[in-house]
Amino acid sequence: MKYAENILETIGNTPLVKLNKVLGEDFPALVLAKVETFNPGNSVKDRMAVKMVEDAEKSGILKPGGVIIEGTSGNTGMGLALAGIVKGYKCIFVTNAKQSKEKCDILRAVGAEVIVCPTDVKPTDPRSYYSVSKRLAAETENGWYVNQYDNISNRTAHYEQTAPEIWEQTEGKLTHFVAGAGTGGTITGVGTFLKEKNPNIKNIAIDTYGSILKEYHETGILNPENAYSYITEGIGEDIIPENYDMTVIDHFEKVTDKDGAIWARKLAKEEGIFCGYSAGSAISALKQMQDTFTKDDIIVVLLHDHGSRYVAKIYNDDWMKEQGWLD
């Protein structure tokens, strides 16, 4: 009989699916979507969540009966919650008010405590979800602050798991890798592996307006004052997490809140691939960059999470009309 010992053993080995319609007949390159929604927590974050937990166990930071505490936009929390269920840890997650209600409801459904913080505050503000996470970890007996932003196990998970899968699935023939940029784990982990295999592969990070990642990549100057509020979930930062190695990223492409939402809807309707906000941003970025690709290019674009987490937002006509994004 073939079966997994627990749900964590089903993480990974997600399919690579050719995109046929959404980018249009005139799009020159072959585009293959790495559909990470097939992970049990419905996102790419399952991979690094379990890796961070297992590494913390090995180092003795996370002890039996411990409490996992993290600031999350939802997806990392889901992966950590699954690990907590299987391994016997309580979970407390801190998020901000920008995140969809579905994400909070899902985390509570799998037994986590969820605390919602205000969005429009600086990272150093004691009310920010960064600050509240750290404070709770310090105050909680046997608490472990995951810190996905600076926890290098994040990018190691993608170096060890996600990247080799992509390399095998494409037989090493890919020319471009495209992924959303948030904590930096995916784009850096996968990007580092691919550059080691073939330095000519281009790693493209997807950013959003209001984030400072693209500016920092191009100038090396960190100016948090240039960050401003945006609606897109899952990508962009107002800090530079330690998981980043900017040297393996060839280009940052920014996408508007509106375009990310519209292209996520197009991906669902034209390809039958029901994914989240950042996936729409990634597809929109490819269309924006269409003139830079050729017929010989093979692009792997990572689709980060599932559309079910955005039903009340980008997949809701009334919400889209409120934003002025839908006729």
> What span, in angstroms and rounded, lies between the C-alpha atoms of 178 and 282?
7
Phi and psi based region of residue 283 (left: phi greater than 0; alpha: psi -120 to 50; beta: remaining) = alpha
Output the DSSP codes for 207-238: EEBTBSHHHHHHH----GGG-------S---S
Tokens found for residue 104: 């909070």
Residue 118 tokens, joined: 């205000």
How far is it, in rounded angstroms, from Cα 192 to Cα 139?
Answer: 37
Q: State the catalytic residue, choosing from 34, 45, 254, 313.
A: 45
User: What is the spatial distance between Cα 203 and Cα 208, in angstroms, rounded to a whole number?
Assistant: 17
Residue found under tokens 């100016």 = 223
**Residue 287: active-site member:** no
Confirm if 29 and 35 have CB atoms less than 8 A apart: no
Catalytic residues: 45
